[in-house]
Amino acid sequence: MTRARRESGGRPRRPTMVDVAREAGVALRTVSRVVNNDPTVGPEYVAKVEAAIAALNYRPDERARQLRTGVTGTIGAAVRRIAEVNPELAAIERTARDSGLTLLAASTDFDEARERDILVSMCRQRLDGIIVEPFGENHAYLQPELDAGMPVVAMDRPMSGISVDCVMSDNASGIGIAFHHLHQHGHRRIAYIGDSERVFSGRERAVAFRAALRAHGEGVEGLVHPGEITAERVAAALDTALRGPEPATALVTGNMDTTLTVLRQLGPQAAARLALVGFDEVPLADLLQPALTVVAQQTAEIGQTAVELLRARIADPGRPVQTVIVPVTLKVRGSGEIPA
Amino acid sequence: MTRARRESGGRPRRPTMVDVAREAGVALRTVSRVVNNDPTVGPEYVAKVEAAIAALNYRPDERARQLRTGVTGTIGAAVRRIAEVNPELAAIERTARDSGLTLLAASTDFDEARERDILVSMCRQRLDGIIVEPFGENHAYLQPELDAGMPVVAMDRPMSGISVDCVMSDNASGIGIAFHHLHQHGHRRIAYIGDSERVFSGRERAVAFRAALRAHGEGVEGLVHPGEITAERVAAALDTALRGPEPATALVTGNMDTTLTVLRQLGPQAAARLALVGFDEVPLADLLQPALTVVAQQTAEIGQTAVELLRARIADPGRPVQTVIVPVTLKVRGSGEIPA
DNA sequence: ATCCTTCGAGATAACGTTATCGCGAGAATA
DNA sequence: TATTCTCGCGATAACGTTATCTCGAAGGAT
């Protein structure tokens, strides 16, 4: 096996369909037909072409095919972090693969400018569609792309400034379930620490928690702590909630980062005494002591639905915009059943 | 903002450079120059073209550019799992971005056929290069692609059947460090449970562990347990190692999955008594009790090096093939310091 | 005043594929 | 036997961009 000829010191030139056609002694179009399994090609031609393909190690250039046909067979996913535990993304990849679609995933990395870069880049690549876990505040800049027919689906949060399909969890019910679970185990002073209300899900969850408190005739003061997830802020919130005349005996954490930060702040002894229900599944939740009771999002369902919504929009760009709310489930493991 | 005109019920047609040129009253080539910031264009032409671009909401088609220029500005990463904790992949993405490269990541999912599909697909897309965390046994089918100039770098494991650049951890030293650490804490009967010796890293680590035992004048029998990572197999290995006349007082686990399986099998009480050093960092290792002492791979270094090796090969396809061994570090957290 | 250079813009040919059209040969029909 | 139809393959034009070449105008030197 010898290195392919190079032209003027650069990369070696790869054989193209023209080369295969010449080698096989047939027309270019016939090679294309064979490559695409067109049944109207005679067996002897198929044999000749396949022999030439093998002899030259020809591989079709996907870029040229995409340019010509107009479709890429690829969808984009702009999520906060690839390479972190992300069951939605895993489900997206699985569903996309099952649909014969390639997935191009990129991390927005909690950076609004980067999110924009990624989305614009995906539009320039003319992907067949984009799933985005939106982070930025305003996505109106995507309106021209929507007008031009780019299918976009939002995941976990809606997008502001544009109207697109969306799939997300039932945040309000999840908080209600967590609260109710602790209430049933005898807790009356239940606190909440979660993400900033500037973030959509943080807002929804904090609002739902306040509503749950009021619905049970409890006051709100000193119990609801949305904000940035930093060790300092969480420590301060814990301090407010757990000390004082009427200390909370139970805690709901609004997302995974908050849950882990709280556990680290509390330390093992305090964590073993405080009733805790976390929003979001936590890796290794079963290995902690006590094992962690959480409100788990149906992440696989969310990812799969995102792809299905996207495919539906690709198939029919004119269909009405749709929002799918996916229910959440309580995973009882121990930490949420500590009595008051 | 009105929907772009559609042609015969299909997707709306996007404006092209030709449309912009017509709108601006300039030549096609001039639009291309403006889009590519060619400084030789007069300011009044730039203004006209930019106005036309804004008026039509023109976005260049990356596919056509790639076809014409021959480079995609994209590298592929075929790893076992995206959407799981994968610091190497995170480092690859970061390094690629800093180099102005787009990353196309896909999960081989521990499936040899799928790995092949992904790699072949990446070759068909004419990506600028591929980083692969190899899984399959034989990659000779990639030889034609290498001959055609496709740059490939292996990560974590070498590839068999072809000769490509590779970056991986110093497995032997890591096992030696783990063994030595436990030995220093007074342990004499130290067992090993790890991945199958059919897997490259599993083989390297098991071999290194046997060597460590012999170097310290210990016998090997009943102490070294490579194999599939299943609950049953690990339970049996634990049983053999920890019972009997000379039970092991310390354990080295060969990778993250083994570590977690061992912890789940032992349960909290037994885990708190057994000295344990794991190979590979474990998420939430600091929250476990006792916190987990591990031999951590320098994953960021590995991912970054992979991109750098790839870029070097892209720049000079003829350079000699290189293997980079990255040292590992011991993270002392508690589980490995339990005395005999 | 003429020539040569430079500079900026336009015409046109690629890149590697697929889609449209056409055409010749053989089969089917009158 | 002449005519139509079908079938299978080939020539050629796109797809949307960049690269090469050309060319006219302006400016400086002789």
Inform me whether the pLDDT recorded for A62 exceeds 80.
Answer: yes
CA distance linking residue A216 with residue A213, whole number of Å: 5
Place of tokens 């980079």: B324
Q: What is the DSSP letter of B97?
A: H
Decide if pLDDT at A291 tops 60.
yes
**Residue B263: HSE in the Cβ half-sphere, 13 Å Cα cutoff:** 25
CA of B331 to C1' of D12 (A): 67
Q: Which of A11, A35, A63, A122 to mutate to test the interface with B (most CBs of B within 10 A)?
A: A63
**At B88, which amino acid appears?**
E
**Interface contact A263-B107, CB threshold 8 A:** no
CA B212-B217-B218 angle, to 5 degrees, is 75
Query: Is the pLDDT reported for residue A285 higher than 60?
Result: yes
CB A135 within 8 A of CB A198: no
**Nearest-CA distance from B328 to chain A in Å?**
21
Give the closest of B82, B126, B286 to A63, CB-based. Answer: B126
Q: Which of residues B279 and A11 earns the better pLDDT score?
A: B279
How many Å from the CA of B197 to C1' of D30? 84
Q: How far apart are CA B336 and CA A120, in angstroms?
A: 49
- Which tops the pLDDT comparison, A170 or B6? A170
List every span in chain B annotated with CATH 3.40.50.2300: 71-169+300-326, 171-298+330-337
d(CA B271, CA B289): 8
Answer yes or no: do A144 and B3 touch at CB < 8 A. Answer: no
What is the 8-class DSSP label of residue B293? E
> Are A147 and B72 in contact (CB < 8 Å)?
no
What is the pLDDT confidence band of residue B11, given thresholds at 50, 70 and 90? low
- pLDDT tens per residue, range B152-198: 999 999 999 999 999 999 999 999 999 999 999 999 999 999 999 99
Sequence-separated (6 or more) residues with CB below 8 Å from residue B5: B12, B13
- Which distant-in-sequence residues (6+ apart) come within 8 Å of A265 by Cβ? A231, A234, A235, A238
Ranges of H-type helices in chain B: 17-24, 28-35, 43-56, 62-69, 87-98, 112-124, 143-147, 171-184, 200-215, 231-242, 256-273, 299-315
Mean local confidence (pLDDT), A181-203: 95
Nucleotide nearest to B61 (CA to C1'): D16
Burial state string for B283-302 with b = 16 or more CB within 10 A and e = fewer than 16 = bbbebbebbbbbbbbbbbbb
Quote the CA–CA distance of B73 and B86 in Å, as a whole number: 23
C-beta separation of A170 from A327 below 8 A: yes
Per residue in B80-104, pLDDT (tens digit) is 999 999 999 999 999 999 999 999 9
Q: Can the peptide bond before residue B247 be classed as cis, meaning omega within 30 degrees of 0?
A: no
> For chain B, what percent of residues have pLDDT higher than 90?
86
CA distance A113 to chain B (A): 13
Beta bridge mates, B79: B107
List the nucleotides on chain D closer than 7 A to a protein CB.
7-20
Can you give the pLDDT at residue A170?
98
B321-338 as b/e: b if 16+ CB within 10 A: eeeeebebebbebbbbeb
Residues in chain A with CB shorter than 8 Å from the CB of B284 are 260, 282-284, 287-288
CB contact under 8 A, B145 and A59: yes
CATH number of B17-60: 1.10.260.40
pLDDT, tens digit, for every residue of A134-144?
998 899 999 99
Give me B225's structure tokens.
């347990």
Residues of B in contact with A276 (CB under 8 A): none
Q: What is the pLDDT of residues A120-161, one digit of tens each?
A: 999 999 999 999 999 988 999 999 999 999 999 999 999 999
Minimum Cα–Cα distance from B92: chain A residue: A83
Q: How would you class A201 by CB atoms within 10 Å of its CB: exposed for 0-12, middle for 13-18, buried for 19 or more?
A: buried
Distance from the Cα of A101 to chain B's closest Cα (Å) equals 12
Distance, in Å, from the CA atom of B237 to the CA atom of B194, rounded to the nearest integer, reads 10
pLDDT at residue A227 above 90? yes
| Min Cα–Cα distance to chain B from A326, Å | 20
**What are the φ and ψ backbone dihedral angles of A7, each rounded to 5 degrees?**
-115, 115
Task: State whether B288 and A286 contact (CB < 8 Å).
Answer: no
Task: Note the pLDDT of residue A268.
Answer: 87
Fold for B71-169+300-326, please state it.
Rossmann fold (3.40.50)
Instruction: State residue A61 phi and psi, 5-degree precision.
Output: -90, 110
Nearest to A28 by CA among A44, A58, A49: A49
Q: Which of A2, A14, A93 sits opposite B82 (nearest CB)?
A: A93
With beta carbons less than 8 A apart as the criterion, state whether A212 and A171 touch.
no
A74-168+300-326 folds as Rossmann fold (3.40.50)
- Does domain A1-60 fall under CATH 3.90.1010.10? My reply is no
How many residue pairs bridge chain A and chain B with CB atoms within 8 Å of each other?
A: 162
* Largest Cα span, chain A: 92
- Would you identify the CATH topology of the domain B171-298+330-337? Rossmann fold (3.40.50)
Q: Where do you find CATH 3.40.50.2300 in chain A?
A: 74-168+300-326, 171-298+330-337
| Contact list, A85 vs chain B (CB under 8 Å) | 83-85, 283
Q: Tokens in use for B267?
A: 């349960």
